[in-house]
Amino acid sequence: MPKDAELLRDELAKRGLTLIGATHVHTFGDAASAPVLMATLRELSTLLKTLGARHLVIMDESNWYPAGKEGVLDEAGWQGLVGMIGDAQKLVEGEYGLKLSFHPHIGTAVEKEAQIDRLLADTEIDLCFDTGHHAFWDQDPVAYMEKVFPRIAYMHLKNVDPKVRARVLAGELPVAKSYGAGVMCPLPDGAVDIQAVMRLLAERGFDGPIVVEQDVAENAKETPLQLAARNLIYMEEIAE
């Protein structure tokens, strides 16, 4: 999307769209990259403020890690990540008045529950919680949401194909190839109980953004538009 505020405003308006936020992927394992992070967050925060959006999501960069050591950080690396997140929060929330949240993601330093627990303990940042990325490692998204609900500021709805996931967990399929194999399947088809997720959000009065995401398998029989339409119908049925 364009970063020129007026151009972006016009393009969104042409399509009847409203900007709710932005997501930035950064190499949090590289402490030397901190100045680049802060400069980028200033640019994005200014754009979001201009267009009336309130949320900025950050996440670790999976492609930065060596093959076979995805998401592996030593103690110094973890402290660098924590420090950058703290500085980012002071900037985005303190100076711009936006809400910053962190997205745990497959293949990064924050993906499994123990890592998310540590992030929440070591920082004050809240989560952009992704049901699919959480369930990828056979973790229970609903149970974890119950546990950390006050720290969830933003939601990504995504689902996981249990058969493809089983191949990953068995070591038969590399994580990097699982996307092409369709591990992130349409919302109605996967292992995550999306209806239970939505019930929990409704019962707790969640008022943050809820974004439906859909990756497309290499052998997908449906187009991205068809997939989006099917997910929309599914979500409308839940709402009813």
Q: What pLDDT score was predicted for residue 122?
A: 98
Please count the structural domains in the chain: 1
**Residue 174 covered by a domain:** yes
**Residue 232 covered by a domain:** yes
Look at strands 21-26 and 152-157 and give their pairing.
Answer: unpaired
**Residue 233 covered by a domain:** yes
Q: What pLDDT score was predicted for residue 1?
A: 85
On whether the CB atoms of residues 107 and 176 are closer than 8 A, the answer is yes
**Residue 192 covered by a domain:** yes
**Residue 102 covered by a domain:** no
**Residue 90 covered by a domain:** no
Q: What pLDDT score was predicted for residue 74?
A: 95
Those residues of the chain that have pLDDT short of 70 are none
Q: What pLDDT score was predicted for residue 23?
A: 96
**Residue 145 covered by a domain:** yes
CATH code, 203: 3.20.20.150
Q: What pLDDT score was predicted for residue 69?
A: 87
Q: What pLDDT score was predicted for residue 16?
A: 97
SS (H, E, C) 90-110: HHHHHHCCCEEEECCCCCCCC
**Residue 61 covered by a domain:** no
On whether the CB atoms of residues 186 and 223 are closer than 8 A, the answer is no
Find the domain containing 174 and state its range.
Answer: 125-240
Q: What pLDDT score was predicted for residue 147?
A: 98
158 Cβ contact list (under 8 Å, min separation 6): 130, 131, 132, 133, 184, 187, 192, 212, 213, 214, 215
